[in-house]
Amino acid sequence: MSYKVKLDVFEGPLDLLLYLIKKNEIDIYDIPIAAITEQYLEYLELMRMLDLNIAGEFLVIAATLIHIKSKMLLPPDEKELLPEEEEDPREELVRRLVEYKKFKEVAGILQGLEGQRKKMFTRDIPFEVEPGEVFFEASLFDLIAAFTRVLKDVPKEMFQEIIKDEFTVEQKVHDLLHMLVVTPVICL
């Protein structure tokens, strides 16, 4: 279940903003943040469970809108930007919305492919068991216990200690050079 803004035919805050900005139907000053926030709080009250993804998406959009509105309402800071360098605070929102639109389009394509795949039925490859093989399920602890039992039956004489040889690269280079001088043909 996802959050839907109850304004005509729009679903979700990003879809609504993308449509309105793209069609130039609503000026940034006219985006009803209070109405959207009120509807969202009613939605949360109905849900009784807070979905953090939905809440996060809403908070990011609301914060972005408030930031844009505050920048547009305040006079520009003369020290910060020269007139030719002035950037529109709406550009970042439009960039995000265009990117979001691309993701929605790809999601739609993937959803269509998923629908097509649901119409396909494949035959499973039969799993043949050889007559002498027995399969059973075992947990990691079952395997450790079995390995421990096997080790108990192995005579102690069969165990060997591995001794670590310590050498330098210089020593090994010297050994290789000596081997090349002494042995005319070396098979690797």
Across 74-96, average pLDDT:
65
Residue 126 falls within a domain, yes or no?
yes
pLDDT attached to residue 171: 92
Q: CB-based contacts of 5: which residues, under 8 Å, 6+ apart?
A: 11, 12, 13, 16, 36, 39
Residue 122 falls within a domain, yes or no?
yes
Across 114-123, average pLDDT:
83
**Total structural domains within the chain:** 1
Residue 177 falls within a domain, yes or no?
no
Lowest mean pLDDT among 49-53, 76-80, 100-104, 169-173: 49-53
Return mean pLDDT, the chain. 72
DSSP letter string over the chain?
------STT--SHHHHHHHHHHHT-S-GGG--HHHHHHHHHHHHHHH-S--HHHHHHHHHHHHHHHHHHHHHHSPPPTTT--GGG---THHHHHHHHHHHHHHHHHHHHHHHHHHHHHT---PPPP----TT-------HHHHHHHHHHHHHHS-GGG--PPPPP---HHHHHHHHHHHHHH-S----
Residue 98 falls within a domain, yes or no?
yes
> Is pLDDT larger for residue 122 or for residue 8?
122
Residue 61 falls within a domain, yes or no?
yes
For the stretch 92-116, pLDDT in tens is 777 777 787 788 889 889 999 999 8
Residue 176 falls within a domain, yes or no?
no
Token pair of 140, please? 């990691």
Among 98, 40, 28, 107, smallest CA distance to 64 is for 28
pLDDT attached to residue 119: 84
Residue 172 falls within a domain, yes or no?
no
pLDDT attached to residue 109: 94
pLDDT attached to residue 161: 80
pLDDT(66) > 90: no
Residue 186 falls within a domain, yes or no?
no
Nearest 5 degrees, angle CA 182-CA 186-CA 188? 145
- In which domain, by residue range, is 83 found? 1-163
